[in-house]
Chain A
Amino acid sequence: MKRVTWLALLVAVALVVSLTAPAISQQKVVKIGDLGSKVGVFEGYGKYQTMGIQLAVEEINAKGGVLGHRIEVISEDDDTKPAPAIRKAEKLILQDGVKLLIGAVSSGSTLAMMDVTKKHKTIHWNSVSCAEFMRTTKFHKYYFSNQPDSRQQANGLAKYILDKMGKKTYIFYTDYAMGQSDARQFKTALEKLGGEVVGVAGAPLDTKDFSPWFGAINQSNPDVLFLAFAGTDSLRLMTQLHSFGMTKKYKLAGIDCFLLQQDLQAIAEPMEGFVQLNHFSAYNPDPNMQAFNQKFKKKFNVDANIAAGAYDAVYFWKAAVEKAGNFDPDQVSAAHEGLCIDNTHIGRQCIRKEDHQVVMDMHLYRVEKGKNLPIARIDGKDAIGEPLVGQDPLKGFTWEIKKKN
């Protein structure tokens, strides 16, 4: 009799397990893709992009996912090159069936990805790259960005540099899509405001020794050296500028993403006084940034940075999907337009309908003892500029140096 009772109990347990297990494991899944540099010159940015996505996805999944779907993230490395970015984007869309693709890090890769996301009608968020072509000539209806592009950054920085740092600027940039775009937009913004660009030069991505360029910089004798570099290029450049005494000789300013906060400590002395535009700093007392930083630090045990953009991108997409009520890319794209969400890393943010750019307040920071400390807040509406969808940002631009006497 006892044996029969045990047997009955086992059968009952097996029945309960077999009936409930499918309900748990068969919760519908929606996949999203994370594409970017996971090794090499922009490794840091790609890794933090992944972390930002992971944090958002974990929070969303804990609250039931999106439209009852659990989100699954698939990460891929694009080797910081356009050709692998295309291959990996195709793989993520066609093989894995992602409904959202976030990336890339390098502007060259992001521009290449845009062809793929346009062709396969896939929602594409960019939270790191900043070349000006993305919301002009390359723009398509499935593309969205919450990374301030070169034009936004230049508008935000140029006035401060002219007012507070000096009139004569030398622009030194990394010679590929991102750096060229930053240099062009910064030169345009500075000259429009009456500043003088005394020299411009580009060095290839991943340059090992920058010293051959220093002679031309010294020859131009600028007040300000504006640097459009990122990742390990920035680290090497700053170390070398410092060893040649040039960090003390010139005032230095640079683009968003010039260096991650995590890298600043290692070269605190060369970076002292460096002014850069950034859309996140763990040392910004803004309550929204502090709240985000706390969550991020709790999970990863490091301060947040560029990861904030990728985190917000996932939430924008979630809000749009819920507004559309399905994952249809056309309907989700339409739902994005004009969409606002309240709890981003910098409070309420809205997507501009015309060019799908998030109108975002930014801060200028000055590096002091290895920390990015805020010195000014720039209203997103002042920096974003008018929509230029379909217009060539190179039209009328010249690299010619117009020297003033």
Chain B
Amino acid sequence: MDYLVAVLLPQLLHGLVFGAALGLLALGLTVIFGLLGVMNFAHGELYMFGAYAGIAVIGVTQSFWVALVVAPLLVGVIGAVTEVATLRPLYRREPLYGLILTFGLALVFREAVRQIWGGDMRRILPPITGSTPLLGMTYPNYRLFLLGASSVLLLAIWLFFTRTRAGIVVRAAVQDAEMLDGLGVDVRRVFTLTFAGSAALAALAGLLLAPVFTVYPQMGVEMILLAFIVVILGGMGSMGGSVIAAFVIGLAQSLFSLWMNPQRVAIAIFGIMIVVLVVRPRGFFGREGVLE
């Protein structure tokens, strides 16, 4: 019982907290993959933009909560401009062009932040402090909030995609953009808004995790690798798959840390990915034909 409460339960909670936040990041990535057919290498930098935009907004308003609304909107606008100015001209070309472009954008975004804010680590103080006694253990309130907020957001996104006309249009665009165009939907507008929404989601994840992980220009690079693994495991382009894979990775990372140094857990995570790709190349819920 002691082991369960003092050891296992906190680790499970760590896993859920991290998995939920990772899910937010990976969800945007998988939607963009479905739309553009390429991995957006700049997605990690949009996550980083969220944290830095948060710092800027907090600097002006002194409020984390205002930043939580405004920062994703700002990054969403950056996402929309980026899509129109750089990605749109490449849609009719090979996916490799998009891949190289987003890789270049990641470098540009990272250096831009370094020029504006410098390379030093910055802190965003958690807006909720203190800890809560929970089943005999103590857990930080902000991390509990993180779990709750991320779960609510994931649920809201699921409702958006399944219950709203706009969500169904995006899913249709992911599946067959040409058919949608033929039905009279302005697909270019759908692409732009979806890219902006995905950027805002990444920014939201960046700002939510900033009080835990701190803020620095490389922060996106460290997270994006895990997000890629999540998208591959979940099934390229599968939104539900990404969410499930995010929780699997979060929990695996956390539980493996009990038996091996967390520094080496990444090896185990890659091991899981290799096994899944060998046994089921399309991932948990991927469409047939993708990566097969």
User: What is the interface of chain A, defined by CB distance below 8 A to chain B?
Assistant: 39-41, 175, 201-204, 206, 208-209, 211-216, 218-219, 221, 232, 236, 240, 243-246
For the complex, give the distance between the alpha carbons of A236 and B215 in Å: 13
B103 CB within 8 Å of chain A:
no
Give the distance in Å from the alpha carbon of A215 to the alpha carbon of B4 in the complex: 11
B11 to chain A, nearest CB (A): 4
Q: How far is A41 from B14 in the complex, measured between Cα atoms in Å?
A: 25
B212 near A212 with CB under 8 A, answer no
In the complex, the answer to whether A215 meets B214 with C-beta atoms within 8 Å is: no
Q: Is the CB of B257 within 8 A of A216?
A: yes
Q: Does B253 contact A (CB under 8 A)?
A: yes
Task: Give the residues in chain B near A206, CB-CB below 8 Å.
Answer: 121
Chain A residues with Cβ below 8 Å from B164 are none
Q: Which residue of B lies closest to A41 (CB)?
A: B121
Verify B261–A244 contact, CB threshold 8 A.
no
Name B6's closest neighbour in chain A (CB-CB): A218
Q: Are A218 and B10 in contact (CB under 8 A)?
A: yes
Which residue of chain B lies nearest to A240 when distances are taken between CB atoms in the complex?
A: B140
Query: Hey, which chain A residues are within 8 Å of B261, CB to CB?
Result: 201-202, 213
Tell me if A175 and B131 are in contact (CB < 8 A): no
Assembly CA distance A212 to B257 (angstroms)? 6
Pairs across A and B, CB under 8 Å, 7 listed: A212-B253, A212-B254, A215-B10, A219-B7, A221-B6, A243-B130, A245-B131
CA distance A212 to B214 in the complex (A): 16
Residues of B within 8 A of A208 (CB): 212-214
> Within 8 Å CB of B258, what residues of A?
215-216, 219
Q: B263 and A203: CB pair below 8 A? A: yes
CB atoms of A213 and B212 under 8 A apart = no
Instruction: Indicate if B109 sits at the interface (CB-CB under 8 A).
Output: no
- Given the known interface contacts A202-B261, A212-B257, the answer about A219 and B3 at a Cβ–Cβ threshold of 8 Å is yes
**B137 in contact (CB, < 8 A):** yes
Q: Which A-chain residue is minimally distant from B140 (CB atoms)?
A: A243
Given contacts A175-B263, A243-B140, is CB(A40)–CB(B120) below 8 Å? yes
Set of chain A residues within 8 Å of B131, measured between Cβ atoms: 243-245
Residues of B within 8 A of A213 (CB): 257, 261-262
Does B162 touch A at the CB level, under 8 Å? no
Given A232-B121, A244-B10, CB of A209 within 8 Å of CB of B212? yes
Name the residue of chain B whose CB is nearest to the CB of A208. B213
Closest 10 pairs between A and B when the two form their complex, measured CB to CB? A245-B138, A243-B140, A212-B262, A215-B11, A212-B257, A208-B213, A219-B7, A215-B258, A218-B6, A218-B7
User: Provided the pairs A203-B263, A236-B214 are in contact, do residues A244 and B138 lie with their beta carbons within 8 angstroms?
Assistant: yes
Q: Are A244 and B139 within 8 A (Cβ)? A: yes
A residues less than 8 Å from B133 (CB atoms): 245
Q: Do A202 and B263 contact each other (CB < 8 Å), given the known contacts A211-B14, A215-B7?
A: yes
Interface string of B115-147 (1 = CB under 8 A from A): 000001100000000110100011110100000
Query: Which residues on the B side are within 8 Å of A218 (C-beta)?
Result: 6-7, 10
Query: Which A residue's beta carbon lies closest to that of B134?
Result: A245
Asked whether, in the complex, the Cβ of A204 is within 8 Å of the Cβ of B263, the reply is yes
B137 cross-chain contacts in A, Cβ below 8 A: 245
CB of B193, distance to nearest CB on chain A (Å): 33
Query: B1-33: which have CB < 8 Å to A?
Result: 3, 6-8, 10-11, 14
Identify which of A202, A212, A216, A236 gathers the most chain B CB atoms within 10 Å of its CB: A212
Query: Whole-angstrom distance from the CB of B139 to the nearest CB of chain A?
Result: 7
**Extra 7 A-B pairs, beta carbons < 8 Å, given A215-B10, A215-B257:** A208-B212, A212-B253, A212-B257, A213-B261, A218-B7, A240-B140, A243-B131
Give Cα A215–Cα B254 distance, bound, in whole angstroms: 9
Most chain B CB within a 10 A radius of its CB, from A39, A41, A211, A244? A211
A83 to chain B, nearest CB (A): 16
Q: A40-B120, A219-B7, A244-B131 are in contact. Are A209 and B213 (CB under 8 A)?
A: yes
Tell me how far the C-beta of B212 lies from the nearest C-beta in chain A, rounded to whole angstroms: 6
Measured CB to CB, the closest approach of chain A to B176, in angstroms, equals 41
| Bound form: Cα–Cα A384–B11 in Å | 41
- Interface hits, B261-289 → A, CB 8 Å: 261-263, 265
| Chain B residues closer than 8 Å to A39, beta-carbon distance | 120
Residue of B nearest to A235 (CB): B123
* Complex CA–CA separation, A211 to B143 (angstroms): 11
User: Max chain A CB contacts within 10 Å: which of B130, B214, B257, B262?
Assistant: B262
Residue of A nearest to B130 (CB): A243
B175 CB to closest chain A CB (Å) equals: 37
Using CB atoms, name the residue of chain A closest to B258: A215
Say how far A183's CB is from chain B's closest CB, in angstroms. 13
B133, B213, B254, B261: residue with the most chain A Cβ atoms closer than 10 Å: B261
Whether the Cβ atoms of A244 and B263 lie closer than 8 Å is no
Cα-based distance from A211 to B11 in the complex (angstroms): 9
Return A5 CB to nearest CB of chain B, in Å: 61
CA gap between A306 and B42 in the complex, in Å? 42
Q: In the assembly, what is the distance between CA of A159 and CA of B10, in Å? A: 33
**Residues of chain A lying within 8 A (CB to CB) of residue B263:** 175, 202-204
